[in-house]
Amino acid sequence: MILTVTLNAALDITYRLPEIDWDGSNRVREVVQQAGGKGINVSRVLAALGHATVVTGLTGGDCGRAVRTDLATCGLRDALFEVDGETRRTVAVVDHRTTTILLEPGPAITSSEWISFRAHYDCLLLLASVVVLSGSLPPGLPPDAYRILIHQAHAHGVPVVLDADGPALLHAIPARPAVVKPNAKELADVTATRDPLAGAQLLHAAGAGAVVASLGPNGLLACTQKGTWRACPPGELPGNPTGAGDSVVAALALGLASEAPWPEQLLHAAALSAATVLAPQAGRFDADAYDRLLSLVRIEEIDPGHPEGESCP
């Protein structure tokens, strides 16, 4: 079973309307709400691929209840931990031209809730083959929260895939997560270099078992103990890239669980994430496109001494 941890779960609300007027009142044509947060999105992808997965993290209040109802409706196994605060909402306002996203900060977590959650997480680790730690930290948690959760996983012999940014990512690297998956901006922000290969090498040297940088339409760049590779999608595909990174994380978690060789893991990660871009709904993937893309993605080993080979043509 792959355990996903979403410490700052959310109720994702999408408003659709033909054209937004930011200075006036607007009638919304369609409202969709669903459970959100990066770990939950990863579990959705894993479940759609037919793999056992359990969702944990922190939820509370009416929005927390709505998150849990949606997980039950989707058949996702829910082991979320209740807190007193109110789960955040994220609001996406989509019209024919633009998407605007508003992210609430999330509930303040008390230190006793954090201690109790860690005991709950410890029990779940008994059943897990891989843990995915994904997304932002809610207020009240220490910046090294992911470092602590990685140490707990390692005490049970469970490897970790981490998708975080900023201080939460930096504090976690010395705990040696098996894989970290920053996107290009997240990698540049924590390493102070715009060169993804140099940035990935820095995080790898600082303790990450492997760094898989996701570079949007430029695919993936992986810096691992076994070698350095890039995975190139067949060009820039049109669609909605929101959640494509979560599909990369889902594929990497499966690769870790099955101990697949890196080129195979990267092939699946690039094909699945490109198929996610092609699906109309954020965070879902087009299963037929995934199959087709497996024969279209190119995997190339890079000589780290010749950085000109690092980006897809």
Ligand X SMILES: Nc1ncnc2c1ncn2[C@@H]1O[C@H](COP(=O)(O)OP(=O)(O)OP(=O)(O)O)[C@@H](O)[C@H]1O
Active site positions, annotated: 246
Burial class (CB in 10 A: 0-12, 13-18, 19+), 123: exposed
Contacting ligand X (CB under 6 A), which of 142, 143, 217, 263? 217
**Alpha carbons 210 and 163: distance in angstroms, whole number:** 12
The residues, any chain, with a CB within 8 Å of residue 179's CB and separated by 6 or more, are: 159, 160, 161, 162, 208, 209, 210, 211, 212, 252, 256
Least distance in Å: CB of 246 to ligand X? Answer: 5
264 binds, among Mg ion, ligand X, none (CB under 5 to 8 A by kind): none
* Residue number of the CB atom closest to ligand X: 245
Q: Which span (47-55, 113-121, 187-195, 241-249) binds ligand X, by CB under 6 A?
A: 241-249
Binding of ligand X by 275 (CB under 6 A): no
Least distance in Å: CB of 212 to Mg ion? Answer: 11
Query: Could you tell me how far CA 225 lies from the centroid of its own chain?
Result: 22
The residues, any chain, with a CB within 8 Å of residue 87's CB and separated by 6 or more, are: 9, 10, 11, 58, 59, 60, 61, 63, 64, 67, 106, 107
Q: Which span (71-79, 106-114, 121-129, 268-276) binds ligand X, by CB under 6 A?
A: 268-276
Output the six-digit token pair for 86.
């109110």
Binding of Mg ion by 199 (CB under 5 A): no
Output the six-digit token pair for 284.
């879902």
Binding of ligand X by 193 (CB under 6 A): no
Binding of ligand X by 43 (CB under 6 A): no
Binding site for Mg ion (CB under 5 A): 183, 245
Instruction: Give contact residues for ligand X (rule: CB under 6 A).
Output: 183, 214-217, 219-220, 233, 236-237, 241-246, 248, 270, 273-274, 277
